[in-house]
Amino acid sequence: MNPTLAIAKREFRTFFSSPIAYIVLGGFLLVAGWLYFGTLFLAGQASMRAFFAIAPVLFVVFAPAVTMRSIAEERKSGTLELLLTMPLKDWEVVTGKFLAALGMVAVGLVWTLPYPFTVASLTAPGVAFDWGPVAAGYLGLLLMASSFLAMGLWASAMSRNQIVGFIVGLLLCFSFYFVDKFAILLPESIGQAVEYLSVDFHFENIARGVLDTRDLLFYGSLTAAGLVLTTRSLAAARQ
Amino acid sequence: MIRIEGLSKSFGTTQALRGLSFEVSKGQVVGFLGPNGAGKSTTMKILAGFLVPTSGHAYVGERDVGVDTVATRRMIGYLPENNPLYEEMMVVDFLAFIAEVRQVPADLRAERIRVAVDRCGLKSVLGKDIGQLSKGFRQRVGLAQAILHDPEILILDEPTSGLDPNQIAEIRGLIKELGREKTVILSTHILSEVQSTCSRVLIINDGKLVADDAPERLTLGAEGGVITVVVGTRLGVGLDEAKVRQALAGVAGVTSVESADAEGPGTAGFKLRYGRDDPRRELFEAAVKNELVLLEVRRQHVSLEETFRKLTATDPSGPRAAA
């Protein structure tokens, strides 16, 4: 097996053998479920819209919670020394950790799949449910999650305390969510630039069912930047 | 096999290594000695590929550990100081993980794990979480992890620290056995460990090499030794300590006389240092002449401990800070 995948596998298994995993996943599903069933029973609408609208905020908290212990814990317990003397490159270690974190988020998302299925079953007879936006929405969530996870990983690599890793990750993710919320007050040119930096803005595009390379490129570069910075933090730990 | 050239390493304002150089040839078992903070662990961390030196090079085979990082790490098995392990993993899962990350070929994996488990005596704890193991078993897991990929070089940072005497003997036996086929560098605080396991001793102090020799030769220098004597008078009473001391100091070969523990009333103990010549014959003659009885005569060579203390005594001229 590829050593990167070996690291991802170990990380994934460790995550699910600790109670933190169930608290984090449970919290995520509770809020997601509340949002979904809120629209279903209170507003009487069978729609995924509310869920996708609030998902970015949810991920601002969820993603750093998944990554917080990833590297910080290894620094604290000293196992980082063991890991960094194994015959592999630092970026392979980082990629392994990232893949594991993405896998955990994917597990969280799998548990939300009953929502679109109930929505599909509740559509009026004879009307076909449009799966396009839902599939695009889930793809968008994964893309957004990967950019948040990469930033969360960097935050985790900077400290040996996982709580610090969580808070720094939360702030990083939040600033990329929040950056365009006051864009309306800014001059149009700056407003557009700021909008481009917003994770939320790109997600809305994708969730509408429009797959634009600009949006994909944005998430791709944000993820890459996070992973490169994480790798550099590991190199700094060797100094 | 291992070559270290002008290695320097600073952490902020403290300088851990100042131009350390040495070579280790294939098959040697080398003991690394030095006081705390001398730079033993730092050197080992650089060799194992964890730390990057500030200047200088470390070579494994012909490869620079800072350039051919992956290839050199593959040749090395490393037991870090304090033996960090994934506490929440089962022993068997941990070893399987190491085998995967170390890229042990899939068809050899089961065999290699079996050999490591056998050698380190881990069979009974395979299904236990590492966090539940006693310190001795943890240390064995660390060693199993280091030998799993059958490396040519073993770097063991304080492999017996914190173990009880039985466990120390076990681990030492294991290291000795491994030393027959591998090049081993081990650091320790226990000097007798070096004498019993190593064919060569490197003593470093303040980031520099201060001694490099076989352990027997470090102890059997031309320094002579110490004779501890306990004397009494022939009648059993009336011992005049000052007089005895004077008589002992007059013995040919003795360079100094210090008081030591007596063995009850009417006796006195002394520690005699001597140079090249063994003064025991003269000592007997002197005792007879002064009507004394030698109750005990015990000769000790200069021990490794003394050599160590002499070589690593802190320089009183200034504190150890970066130049």
Domain extents for chain B? 2-219, 225-301
Residue labelled with tokens 């103990």: B269
For B270-287, what is each residue's pLDDT tens digit? 888 887 777 888 888 888
| The pLDDT value given to residue B257 | 87
Average pLDDT, chain A: 88
pLDDT band of B128, cuts 50, 70, 90: very high
Name, in order, each residue with C-beta under 8 angstroms of B296's C-beta and a sequence gap of 6 or more: B228, B229, B230, B263
Token pair recorded at residue B124: 């009974």
| The pLDDT value given to residue B301 | 66
Pairwise CB contact (< 8 Å): B97 & A10:
yes
For A203-232, what is each residue's pLDDT tens digit? 888 888 788 888 899 999 999 999 999 999
Report the CATH number of the B2-219 domain. Answer: 3.40.50.300
For B305-320, what is each residue's pLDDT tens digit? 777 777 777 654 444 4
| The pLDDT value given to residue B211 | 84
For B172-224, what is each residue's pLDDT tens digit? 888 888 888 899 999 988 777 888 888 898 989 888 888 888 877 776 554 66
Provide the edge-to-edge strand list for the sheet that holds B200-205: B76-79, B153-157, B183-187, B29-33, B200-205, B208-213
User: Domain B225-301, CATH 3.30.70.360 — does that match?
Assistant: no
Average pLDDT, chain B: 86
ipTM of the complex: 0.89
Asked if residues B245 and B56 have their Cβ atoms less than 8 Å apart, the reply is no
Q: What DSSP string runs through A91-124?
A: HHHHHHHHHHHHHHHHHHHHTTTHHHHHHHHHSP
CA proximity to B121, closest of B99, B104, B108, B139: B139
Residue labelled with tokens 């700021």: A194
| The pLDDT value given to residue B318 | 42
Query: Which positions in chain A touch B85 (Cβ < 8 Å)?
Result: 79, 82
How far, in Å, CA of A52 to CA of A15, rounded?
Answer: 26
What average pLDDT score do residues A166-185 get? 86
Count of domains in chain A? Answer: 1
pLDDT over threshold 60, residue B321: no
Token pair recorded at residue B5: 């050239």
Identify which of B74, B80, B101 has the shortest CB distance to residue A7.
B101
In a 10 Å sphere around its CB, with 0-12 CB exposed, 13-18 middle and 19+ buried, how is residue A141 labelled? Answer: buried
| The pLDDT value given to residue A150 | 96
Q: Which residues pair with B3 in a beta bridge?
A: B23, B59
| The pLDDT value given to residue B302 | 64
CA proximity to A150, closest of A40, A70, A37: A70
Closest residue in A to B106 (Cα–Cα)? A1
The pLDDT > 70 percentage for chain B reads 94
Closest residue in B to A89 (Cα–Cα)? B70
Q: How many CB atoms lie within 10 A of CB B255?
A: 11
- Distance from the B32 Cα atom to the nearest Cα atom in chain A, whole angstroms: 20
CB crowding A17-49: b at 16 or more within 10 Å, else e: eeeebeebbeebeebbeebbeebbeeeeebebe
Q: How many CB atoms lie within 10 A of CB B52?
A: 15
The pLDDT > 90 percentage for chain A reads 50
pLDDT over threshold 70, residue A187: yes
Residues of A with CB under 8 A from a CB of B: 1, 3, 6-7, 10, 13-14, 17-18, 77-89, 238-239
Domain of residue A197 covers 3-237
Residues of B with CB under 8 A from a CB of A: 45, 48-52, 69-71, 73-74, 76, 78, 80, 82, 84-89, 93, 97-98, 100-103, 106, 145
How far, in Å, CA of B248 to CA of B242, rounded?
Answer: 10
For B59-117, what is each residue's pLDDT tens digit? 998 899 989 999 999 999 999 998 999 999 999 999 999 999 999 999 999 999 999 99
Q: What are phi and psi of B184, to 5 degrees?
A: -125, 135
For A83-101, what is each residue's pLDDT tens digit? 999 999 999 999 999 999 9
Least confident of A113-117, A218-222, B20-24, B141-145: A113-117
Query: Which positions in chain B touch A80 (Cβ < 8 Å)?
Result: 84
For B135-159, what is each residue's pLDDT tens digit? 889 999 999 999 999 999 999 999 9
| The pLDDT value given to residue B108 | 93
